[in-house]
Structure 1
Amino acid sequence: MTIFFAILFSVSTLVFVAGLAMKIAQYARTPAPLKIPTTPAPLTKGGVALRLGREALLFESLFRGDKLLWLFAFVFHLGLAVVLVRHARYFQGEAGPLVALVQPLAQPAGLAMVAGLTLLLARRFVIERVRYVTGPSDILMLALLLAIGVTGMLMKCVIHTDIVMVKAFFTGLMGFELRPLPADPLLGLHLLLVCLLMIVFPFSKLLHAPGLFFSPTRNQTDNPREVRHLAPWAAKLDEGQ
């Protein structure tokens, strides 16, 4: 089990990092020939940065469009953020101040994550207009995230595992040292699901996380009257004429 997960985590981390880097590079290279910010839009780059920050942290446009969906999504993402910060302790020799700060929130955050995912998944089946546009990948991604959350909460609240050995395994793996992993079936399932998520993440709809910052409807200033907008390739054509 130790050798299997050492290899699997190494491969899945490589796929995750390389795949995400390739996608971000692709987004950065994609031309934006039109000036299409969603109005009302900021007029300055500072305003654009502030707008992107509100979108990334508060889901501002979603709140305006669908407050119930915003609530489900915000509960899930907030819980996920706390869970991810807390899991950083498995990769650190000494827990940092941020990890220590969120430590008491571990169980409520896990429950919030599972509750938010359950509501988002139920919404895909209950609301007819949403069910009509729901594809298999939408269901599978939510189900995968939910399975990760549920198995994690089971280990936290019901069937405990040896977290000291888990931490030793991951800190050793970061230093290219193989240390034993607990022979716990629930832990194995949880880690297997996490590796699967890491592998499929760069090729799934979950890329809306980094994709937000490359959306021309969000990252452009609303100054088409003051400044002529030209994509680099269009500028070259314009110079040639």
Structure 2
Amino acid sequence: MAATLLALALALSPAVEQKRMAAEGARQGVVSDGRHLFAIDNATIAKLDPRTGAVVARWTGDPALFRHMNSCIALKAKLVCAASNYPKTPMASSVEWFDTRTMTHVASRSLGPGRGSLTWLDWHDGSWWACFANYDGKGGDAGRDHRSTTIVRFGADFVEQGAWLLPDNVLERMAPYSASGGAWGHDGYFYVTGHDRPELYVLELPEAGSELLHVGTIAIPTNGQAIAWDPKEDRVLWSIERSTRSVVASRIPPVDLKSAAKK
């Protein structure tokens, strides 16, 4: 814990871009299941050839039902996706499941209103970890702003087990938006992105209290949005460049606090 306290907000070694491909559907996020890439948009998911980026299958939903799909994770033969009603208020969220083989929608779980807008979730340590974003202005509920962004731990049945706020210095970098992407690393750190800065925030759970700890920041080659680890390549992270509709693979350096502290 002492090492972490000394390392708060350290600038860690930058990510190194490994691959970049055009992907028309890459407006919200991208995820890999080890065989294909999946580019996520509000109401569509494109299944891509990972070598060329060519679309091999596509799911398209009713925009009235699938208003704003934010991100997905690959879990077994399913995509598990975070969705919301953005920019409508009151903010409400749901989790949507898709079969990666047939590219069909197979299940839905409404989380309703209350916390904010579900932008991402991950499965880690037998629990769902979900981010409920809050915004300044458009798409935000009255009485809240980006500082109300909350990370919630749920059981397998979506019963809440705990909740944490983001650190102030990370929130300052995200304002007026929120955390658009997040995923647990195998090293036990949380990796989180904002809406538009080319930065990856390394966080960890505190020993006590309700605010996550900021370990450091890693420069990445894309501007925020959803992220997902590659299941086959160690420490390779997929992200999107919304402005060019590209999917990008970057190698994230190991988080070495001792080396970073010497810089």
Greater helix fraction, Structure 1 or Structure 2: 1
Larger RCO (CA within 8 A; separation ≥ 6): 1
> Over alpha carbons, which structure has the higher Rg?
1
Is this a same-fold pair by TM over 0.5? no
TM-score (norm 2): 0.27
TM-score (norm 1): 0.29
Greater strand fraction, Structure 1 or Structure 2: 2
